[in-house]
Structure 1
Amino acid sequence: MAPFDFGQKVDTAQFDKLIEGNYEVNASDYLQKGWEMFKGNIGEFIGFTLVVFAASLVISKLGAFGSLLFSALAAPLYAGFSIAAFRILSGKSLQFSDFFKGFNYFLPLFLAGLASGIIVSVGLALLLLPGIYLAVGYMLTTLLVIDHRMEFWQAMETSRKIVTKNWFAFFIFALLLFLVNVLGIIALGVGLLVTIPITSCAAAIAYKEIVGLHSTEW
């Protein structure tokens, strides 16, 4: 997929059974597997997290322009963790360059991040609960873009419909991921070198076990 492709419309019939049926969300299991995945590739994950931190530090020095630049780069950068996890889950070898393949999906990831950020912010400002509902509902958006080359709005809506079926379980999962990263911040921020990869891997594992992997190339 070229970086500035909008993505494609996908036949959502493949998700109907999941949306209409039922599934389990095993948050602690996903985190445990995320930890195991991190341990097996610790050098690559910590190395890429350091790259993300360094990029954010450099960009922060650019003032308002830096904020705009990082908002554009954040989604494809963090998508690198998901791509790495997908490759490991599918039994493929992991190269450090694979972490940067999120930029192959730059435009749909950027648009999804922009649109969901605005919508969630409005929901939080107006009544709080709609914002929380949507923040959790959009959890699978990035993963759908990467796995199905899906255009951003369809990915957001598909994610919301899938998550809504078992929203409270996803809320607990999202809260657990958040708390793990808070622990990383408390550990002088250094802990984020561990918690960001673990929580990112856990989210990718949850996607794989609930939705299933569609693509074989990321």
Structure 2
Amino acid sequence: MSSFDISDRDYTFKLGDYVSRGWEIFKSNALPFVGFTLLTFVGLGLLSAILPFPLGSGDFEDGQGGIGIVSSILMNLLIPGIYIVAFQIARNRPTAFADFFKGFNRALPILVLAILSGLLIGVAFLCLILPGIYLAVAYMFALPLLLDKQLDFWPAMETSRKLITKKWFSFFAFSLVLGLINIAGALCLGVGLLVTFPLTICAQIAAYEDIVGLNSVADSEPTDTI
């Protein structure tokens, strides 16, 4: 794993610019973004419905339900593909639909990050709501750092937390804006999420691009499998 520390970096937060830049990234590859999001939502939904609980959603009439273990794992490995493609577009690099599935190349660290950050956020919410909100916002850059800078899960989480804490309230407002965009998409019979979900990820990449910066080293295919 590479060493990377930008926790002391100062920056200016530009919320409007990030949404605008995110839209530019999205619209340059709109059909693949929408197609992959549709494939992910429908595929995981069908898989969850087919598999028995707890692997799948189970029978709601028996008091069971939820997305299921298998769909949860696959979701955490598929969503990073949107980040990866957005990174490539931000670098003006060519993309292919297969790039959406490159999250599987670093399956273990991605899953550990998802589980550990989810546990920490969940525990923080149970203890006191505010610490949970703090961590949920502070880990926004954890996955991008893991994917782009080849960091392990804990350095990615801590680097994200320290960096975002500098402008936490700005990131909180950013999170609210992204949430409202997705709510608007959901209100359009849910179909709007096919656009708003990848769009909001592209906006996060736009913020990351400005604050953290993109490096050419991370353009190469990851070789580690931990």
Structure 1 length as normaliser, TM-score?
0.90
Return the letter of the residue paired with 1:203: Q
Alignment of 1:36-185 (within 5 A): 36-61=24-49, 62=51, 63-66=53-56, 67-185=68-186
Match of 1:5 in 2: none
CA RMSD of aligned residues (A): 1.3
Q: Which of 16, 23, 34 is the equivalent residue of 2:11?
A: 23
Unaligned runs of 5+ residues in structure 2 are 57-67, 222-226
Whether contact under 8 Å (1:44, 1:96) holds in the other structure is: yes
Return the letter of the residue paired with 1:198: L
Match of 2:60 in 1: none
> Which has the higher mean CA deviation after the structures are superposed, 206-215 or 186-195?
206-215
The CA deviation at 1:25 is 1.8
Quick check: 1:11 aligned with 2:3?
A: yes
Return the letter of the residue paired with 1:93: P
Percent identical residues: 44
Whether contact under 8 Å (2:3, 2:151) holds in the other structure is: no
The CA deviation at 1:21 is 4.1
> Which of these two proteins has the greater Rg computed from alpha carbons?
2
Return the letter of the residue paired with 2:186: I
Cα deviation, 1:35-64, whole Å, max 9, x if unaligned, reads 122222111111101111122212221232
> Which has the higher mean CA deviation after the structures are superposed, 114-123 or 36-45?
36-45
Whether contact under 8 Å (2:9, 2:163) holds in the other structure is: no
Structure 2 length as normaliser, TM-score?
0.87
> What is the number of residues matched between the two proteins?
206
**Distance in 1 between residues matched to 2:82 and 2:12, nearest whole Å:** 24
Whether contact under 8 Å (1:180, 1:199) holds in the other structure is: yes
**Distance in 2 between residues matched to 1:122 and 1:201, nearest whole Å:** 29
DSSP 3-state at the match of 1:130: helix
Return the letter of the residue paired with 1:71: S
Quick check: 1:217 aligned with 2:220?
A: yes
Return the letter of the residue paired with 1:23: Y
The CA deviation at 1:181 is 0.5
Match of 2:64 in 1: none
Match of 2:193 in 1: 192
**Distance in 2 between residues matched to 1:143 and 1:32, nearest whole Å:** 19
The CA deviation at 1:145 is 0.7
**Distance in 2 between residues matched to 1:27 and 1:75, nearest whole Å:** 26
**Distance in 2 between residues matched to 1:151 and 1:20, nearest whole Å:** 19
Whether contact under 8 Å (2:48, 2:70) holds in the other structure is: no
Cα deviation, 1:158-193, whole Å, max 9, x if unaligned, reads 110111111111111111111110111111100001
Match of 2:63 in 1: none
